[in-house]
Amino acid sequence: MGFNERVWEVTKQIPKGKVSTYKEIAKALNCRAYRAVGNALNKNPFAPIVPCHRVVSSNGGLGGFAYGVKAKIKILKTEGIEIKEDKIVEFEKRLFKLKTFQEIKR
């Protein structure tokens, strides 16, 4: 299993209404490949299955989205996450505590 798949596995556990960051995902994989995480999500072939729209920047900003940031905002709002001025509202409270890749694979 390659790096990308591990990224997707970790991302899949984020529930509706919560978010996580590129950095946190890297941490869950026991490395610091924030940028590589972004790349992996960008190429994500499981568009709806892996909730890549729930992954945002560490500073509470939105990050990017393969189909446009606008679409990302729309989806997040649909799921009950408020966005103001391109920032996540109550960012810290919306953060989901990720499990390690190992823990997921139990």
Partner DNA sequence: CGGTTGACCAAGT
Partner DNA sequence: GACTTGGCCAACC
Pull the structure tokens for residue 66: 């393969």
Tell me the C-alpha to C-alpha distance, in Å, between residue 63 and each of 22, 37, 103.
9, 12, 26
User: Which residue in the list 29, 37, 52, 62 is annotated as catalytic?
Assistant: 52
52 is catalytic: yes
Please state the length of the chain: 106
Q: How many CA atoms lie within 13 A of 31 on its CB side?
A: 10
Binding mask 12-41 for DNA (x = CB under 7 A): ---------xxx-------xxxxxxxxxxx
Number of residues that bind DNA (CB under 7 A): 31
Active site residues: 52
Binding residues vs DNA (CB under 7 A): 2-4, 21-23, 31-44, 52-53, 55, 57-59, 61, 63-66
